Amino acid sequence: MLISHDDHVDNLDTEGRRFALDAPRILTNPGAAGRLGTSAQGLAPWESVQLHASDGRRAVTVQAVPAVHGPADGDRDAGGNVTCETTGFVLTGDGLPTIYLSGDNASLEAVADIAARSGPIDVAVLFAGAARVPGRQHERLLTLNSAWAAAAAEVLRAKLVIPAHIDGWAHVTEGVDDIRRAFEDAGISEVLGLAALGHWTVPPTPTSG
């Protein structure tokens, strides 16, 4: 189980927490690991672990990557984090697509750093929705908006983008139509995968070696 952060119910609600705690292993940020129990392991940015298949022949490397849950110059908590401690993940493995899970990240600078270190991304799951909360970070963006999600897709050279965090909560201010329009405006609508369209086909990745 990969958990970006455990502080907010729109990211980890009661049922999600119950489901997570039943998992044999949780990977998350260090602060959350201390709250989620013995099955949780906290990863600092750029730290990696390998997960092995039951037959031992295939492994997935999970790397924690930076995420900024609000404006980079925004208010910080006692730990120096914007809004709260948050992490993203990059998953890689021989013969497998490279997958980026942004978590609640609003920083294109963090995305550019990830792209520079990880190379092209096959599948990017981007938390968008232009989340804003009254009284928090002066109501500035806490996640990517649609235009920034399109920009992130271009920076990552993503073959497929799956937008997340774009409905179901009052503080999510942009939805599916906004995402679709932003990707069309950027000329990259062909990479956008939306559940409503049923087009979640992952491009094949050549096996190394």
What element of type H or E holds 167?
none
Residues 60-85: pLDDT tens digits? 999 999 999 888 887 787 788 877 78
The pLDDT mean for the chain works out to 84
Residues 175-186: pLDDT tens digits? 899 999 999 999
Q: What is the pTM of this model?
A: 0.84
| Confidence band of 208 (pLDDT split at 50, 70, 90) | very low
Which residue, among 125, 119, 120, has the nearest Cα to 104 in the 3D structure? Answer: 125
* Residue 11, pLDDT score: 62
Per DSSP, 22 falls in state: T
Spatial contact of 89 and 2, defined as CB atoms under 8 Å apart: yes
Task: Describe the crossing of helices 146-156 and 176-185 by its angle, rounded to 10 degrees.
Answer: 50
